Amino acid sequence: MKLKGKVAIVTGASSGMGKEIAYYYAKEGAKVMAVARRIEKLDVLVEESKNLDGKIVPLVADVSYKDQIEKMIDETIKVFGTLDILVNNAGIMDDFSPVGDVNDDMWEKVLNVNLNGPFYATKKAINYFKEKGSGVIINTASIGGLHGGRAGAAYTVSKHGIIGLTKNTAIMYAKQNIRCNAICPGGIETDIGNGAFMKNINEDGMNLVMAGSGTNPRTGKPNEIATVAVFLASDDAGFINGQCIAVDGGWTAY
């Protein structure tokens, strides 16, 4: 088992990629604090994972709030005695609006969840990892953080920001045995498209984005992201740091 004895936090763990990452971590022997806003979905994850070698504990928190993020990390250390791996996975989609049409409330919400949340979680975890002498951070970015035409301005900026945070964290703390990498998924079968801002889509923005969708070879499964997250958290990836790995079935190769 690649993560035997490790303790991890996975945000956005109630569905999609986060759920699969938490499950696969427990399958590989890790103790996982599975964090999300919907306790009923976390309870399903706990039930599904009860026969695995690791353990999943549910925690309700909203990563758009700094105080809840800090409590999340404190509670994990309290329950499990330590923290080895932080997976900043929680994220929401925007409505495909270009910058001139972006609603202020949407901008703030998307940035709070997608960028500020990982920033504050990383800041809190880093100080613990420095004292411990080791730690791994994995950020769920997006190929939308590598290109400009995969979403609206808010989502695109948030994911570009995550990539910048990943690279800066990696180089700043590499000599303290702390690694930070990002996964950049392509099109994945998740429920991110069912978010609140997707109910009133900017048609012009969406049409421009969708114009390139025909170059996507296929849509991926959440478990295809989870296996990469397992690898990056494991000792097998000990020399991988500051990298933003596109997991997209070849979409960005076009």
Q: If you search the block for the tokens 């079935």, which residue do you land on?
A: 249
The position carrying tokens 């690791």 is: 54
Percent of the chain with pLDDT over 90: 96
The pTM of this model reads: 0.97
DSSP string, the chain: -TTTT-EEEEESTTSHHHHHHHHHHHHTT-EEEEEES-HHHHHHHHHHTTTSSSEEEEEE--TTSHHHHHHHHHHHHHHHS---EEEE----------GGG--HHHHHHHHIIIIIHHHHHHHHHHHHHHHHT-EEEEEE--GGGT-SSSS-HHHHHHHHHHHHHHHHHHHHHGGGTEEEEEEEE-SB-SSGGGSGGGGS--HHHHHHHHTTGGG---PBPHHHHHHHHHHHHSGGGTT--S-EEEESTTGGG-
The dihedral through the CA atoms of 168, 170, 176, 179 has a sign that is positive
User: How many other C-beta atoms can be found within 10 angstroms of the C-beta atom of residue 39?
Assistant: 13
The span from the CA of 254 to the CA of 248, in Å, is: 11
Distance CA 122, CA 137 (A): 8
Which pLDDT score is estimated for 245?
99
Q: What is the tens place of the pLDDT at every residue in 143-183?
A: 999 999 999 999 999 999 999 999 999 999 999 999 999 99
| Domain annotation covers residue 252 | no
For the cut 80, the answer to whether the pLDDT of residue 122 exceeds it is yes
119 occurs within a structural domain:
yes
pLDDT of residue 46: 98
Q: Specify whether the CB–CB gap between 188 and 229 falls below 8 A.
A: no
Which domain, by its residues, includes 194? 7-247
Residue 254 lies in a domain: no
Give the whole-number percent of the chain exceeding pLDDT 70: 100
Q: In this predicted structure, what is the pLDDT of residue 246?
A: 99
Q: What is the pLDDT of residue 192?
A: 80
Structural domain contains residue 211: yes
For the chain, what is the domain count? Answer: 1
pLDDT digits (tens, 9 = 90+) for 62-87: 999 999 999 999 999 999 999 999 99
> Is residue 149 within 8 Å of 198, Cβ to Cβ?
no
Residue 193 pLDDT: 76
Token pair for 133: 């002498």
CATH number at 45 reads: 3.40.50.720
Radius of gyration for the chain, computed over Cα atoms and rounded to the nearest angstrom: 17
The pLDDT score that the predictor gives to residue 191 is: 85
Is 155 considered catalytic here? Answer: yes
1 part of a folded domain:
no
Tell me which of 128, 155, 173, 254 is the catalytic residue: 155
In degrees and rounded to multiples of 5, residue 88 shows phi and psi of: -85, 90
Has residue 253 been placed in a domain? no
- Please say whether the dihedral angle defined by the alpha carbons of residues 181, 182, 188 and 189, taken in this order, is positive or negative: positive
Residue that wins the pLDDT comparison between 192 and 190: 190
Q: 106 lies in a domain? A: yes
Residue 94 lies in a domain: yes
